[in-house]
């Protein structure tokens, strides 16, 4: 199971329909939070996202992306949380987040560790919560001053096991099948050796989910999103405001679609939309689909499942 739930999809400020940026990614029961705009904790309650999370990833420190962490950490403290929390963000994260965490509360009753990341970093989760089945990669974005995006990349999975071929090779059903499935050669009771090749297919790649945060369309995002199962790209503006997008370090829906196309992504979700598209973002979807058909626009509370490609 891998899914993302959009908690806030509005650029710069909340509207009646949309809150500011935050997205929960749930994988095999584990919840990761990307961005934490003001009011995120209430959106989590509203849309059933677990508070039992231990990592929050920030792309940059414009107010609409992080102010919610102050209230969220306070609420977690009131719930007598004991587990530590890790916050990740680009250069400046330590100073800024540590200041934010001291606002309005005497002491956070659990450990909060801030880790600064830079493009190219693979965020392992450290000793406490080592990741075994996937990694989070930080990549450069173009939003003026050290912003990053994040890509979740699952490790390769074993190839597909063909029971008929195993039987034909004389391998009895049982533990030996499991060994073959894991890519190991097995020795049969009659002494013959059987290798997995021909019985188990090539390893299959894991899923890739890419979250850009605020950015101009750029090559670094295209690289990070190569073959992504899901690309979540900001699309603050429509075509008629493409100059404004350029001036403010944002993307149009069409530009986001061009990135998805260049990256050969499977699906594109547009988010972080300007207040003028708060009620209807159909125009953004229409413009993007002219370039990249598999496009939808996020709205608050929307959950998208990410299935395996094979």
Q: How far is CA 144 from CA 59, 91, 214, 218, 246, in A?
A: 12, 13, 10, 12, 11
What is the rounded CA–CA span in Å between residue 119 and residue 114?
Answer: 17
Nearer to Zn ion, 62 or 267 (CB): 62
CB of 143: closest distance to Zn ion in angstroms? 6
What is the rounded CA–CA span in Å between residue 80 and residue 68?
Answer: 19
Residues 6+ apart with CB under 8 A from 239: 252, 253, 254, 287
Q: Among the options 64, 142, 214, 229, which is catalytic?
A: 64
- The C-alpha angle 302, 25, 273, rounded to 5 degrees, equals 45
Nearer to Zn ion, 10 or 199 (CB): 10
Nearer to Zn ion, 64 or 300 (CB): 64
CB of 218: closest distance to Zn ion in angstroms? 14
Please answer whether residues 161 and 183 qualify as being in contact, where contact means their C-beta atoms are separated by less than 8 angstroms.
no
What is the rounded CA–CA span in Å between residue 192 and residue 84?
Answer: 52
Listed in sequence order, the DSSP H helices in 19-90 are 40-46, 63-66, 68-78
CB of 206: closest distance to Zn ion in angstroms? 29
Nearer to Zn ion, 5 or 215 (CB): 215
- Could you confirm whether 142 is annotated as catalytic? no
CB of 36: closest distance to Zn ion in angstroms? 12
CB of 65: closest distance to Zn ion in angstroms? 6
Buried b vs exposed e over 163-178: b needs ≥16 C-beta within 10 Å?
eeebeebebeeeebbe
Nearer to Zn ion, 35 or 55 (CB): 35
Please answer whether residues 57 and 89 qualify as being in contact, where contact means their C-beta atoms are separated by less than 8 angstroms.
yes
Long-range contacts of 249-252 (CB under 8 A, 24+ apart): 249/142, 249/143, 249/144, 249/214, 249/215, 249/216, 250/11, 250/143, 250/214, 250/215, 250/216, 251/215, 251/216, 251/217, 252/287
Nearer to Zn ion, 38 or 214 (CB): 214
CB of 11: closest distance to Zn ion in angstroms? 5
Using CA atoms in the order 286, 288, 293, 297, what is the torsion angle rounded to 10 degrees?
-80
Enumerate the β-bridge partners of residue 186.
Answer: 194
Judged by the rule CB under 5 A, the positions of this chain that interact with Zn ion are 62, 64, 214
Q: Which residues are catalytic?
A: 64
């Amino acid at each position: 199971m891998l899914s993302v739930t959009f908690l806030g999809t509005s650029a710069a400020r909340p509207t009646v329909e949309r809150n500011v940026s935050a997205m929960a990614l749930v994988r095999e029961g584990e919840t990761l939070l990307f961005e934490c705009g003001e009011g995120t904790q209430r959106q989590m309650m509203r849309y059933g996202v677990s508070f039992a999370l231990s990592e929050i990833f920030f792309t940059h420190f414009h107010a609409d992306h992080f102010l919610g962490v102050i209230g969220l950490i306070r609420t977690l403290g009131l719930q007598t949380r004991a587990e530590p929390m890790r916050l990740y963000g680009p250069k400046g994260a330590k100073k800024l987040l540590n200041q934010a965490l001291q606002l309005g509360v005497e002491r956070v009753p659990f450990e909060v560790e801030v880790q600064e990341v830079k493009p190219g970093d693979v965020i392992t989760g450290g000793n406490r919560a080592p990741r075994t089945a996937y990694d989070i990669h930080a990549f450069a974005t173009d939003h003026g001053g050290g912003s990053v995006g994040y890509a979740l990349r699952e490790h390769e999975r074993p190839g597909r096991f063909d029971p008929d071929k195993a039987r034909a090779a004389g391998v009895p059903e049982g533990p030996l099948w499991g060994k073959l499935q894991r890519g190991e050669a097995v020795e049969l009771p009659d002494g013959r050796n059987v290798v997995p090749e021909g019985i188990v297919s090539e390893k299959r790649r894991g899923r890739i989910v890419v979250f850009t945060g605020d950015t101009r369309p750029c090559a670094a995002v295209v690289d990070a999103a190569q073959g992504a199962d899901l690309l979540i790209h900001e699309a603050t503006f429509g075509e008629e405001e493409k100059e404004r997008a350029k001036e403010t370090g944002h993307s149009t829906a069409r530009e986001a679609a061009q990135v998805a196309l260049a990256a050969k992504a499977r699906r594109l979700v547009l988010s972080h939309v300007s207040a003028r598209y708060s009620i209807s973002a159909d125009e953004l979807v229409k413009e993007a689909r002219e370039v990249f058909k598999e496009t939808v626009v996020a709205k608050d509370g929307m959950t998208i499942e990410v299935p395996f490609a094979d």
